Amino acid sequence: MSQQSLIPNIKACVFDAYGTLFDVHSAVAKHIEFLGDAANQVSNIWRTKQLEYTWLRSLMKKHVDFWQITRDGLDYALDASNITDEKLRDDLLKAYLHLKCYPEVPDTLAKLKDRGLQIAILSNGSPAMLEAVVKSSGLEKLVQTILSVEEVAVFKPDPAVYQLAVDHLGVAAKEIVFLSSNSWDAVGATAFGLKVAWINRFDQRPERMPFQPVAEIKTLAELPDLLES
C-alpha cells in the first residue's frame, strides 16, 4: 500500500458487514463437496444477484428484507447452474447465517475498541441475520451497535442508510470512518459525507466516480495505523 495521510478526529468506526467483516463466499465453501465444479459459479452468481436485487428494489420502491433478497439470489444462482437439490438450498441458506469473518477482524476490532472508539455495523442485512452472524463469529463483545437498513426500508447506497450511523452514534459524519470492501458502497458513503476507507481485498479498479474514499487498504489490519491518535 502506498503511503497515506492519517485520518484525524475519528470517534466511531462503522463497518459494512458482507464482504467487509464476513466472507460472503464461505457459505458455498462449506458445501463445496456437493457442488463440485459448480461451486464458484453458484457463489459468484448468488452474490451478484443479491446486490442487483437490492438496487432494483430500492429504485422500484418495492422493499423486502435482505433475507428475502438472499433467498431470491440463491434461487437464481441454483437455477442458472441447473441445480434442483432442495436440501442443498436449505443448507446454503443456513450457512449464510454463519459466515466466517476474515481472520484479521477480531484483533482489529479489539484494538479500535481499546482506543475508545465506537464500533458499529451498518448493513443491508436484516437484524436477525446480522445478530446471527455476529454471534457465530464471536464478535458480540466487540461490536457495540448493529444498524440495519430495515429501519429506513431502503438499501445502500441510499443516503438514508448512512444517516442511520450519524443519528444512532451521536457523532457528526466527519467523525465517522466507514469501512467497506464494496467499491460502490465506499462511493455511496463518501458521497454522503462519511470518511471512508475502502478495503480493496481483491485488487479491484477504483470506480469512475467523483466521490473517492480518503484511504484504500488491503485488509482491516491496516486501519488502526491510519487513524490519528
- Per the residue annotation, which of 16, 23, 158, 185 is the catalytic one? 16
Say whether 16 is catalytic. Answer: yes
Going by the DSSP 8-state scheme, the letter that residue 219 receives in this structure is: S
Nearest to 55 by CA among 123, 124, 121, 147: 124
Radius of gyration, alpha carbons of the chain: 17
Going by the DSSP 8-state scheme, the letter that residue 82 receives in this structure is: T
Q: Which amino acid is at 227?
A: L
**In the structure grid, which three cell numbers stand for residue 13, read together?**
468506526
Cβ 177 vs Cβ 193: under 8 Å: no
**How far apart are the C-alpha atoms of 115 and 109, rounded to whole Å?**
10
Contacts 24+ apart (CB under 8 A), 31-38: 31/88, 31/91, 31/92, 31/95, 34/85, 34/88, 35/83, 35/88, 38/81, 38/83
Q: Give the active site residues.
A: 16
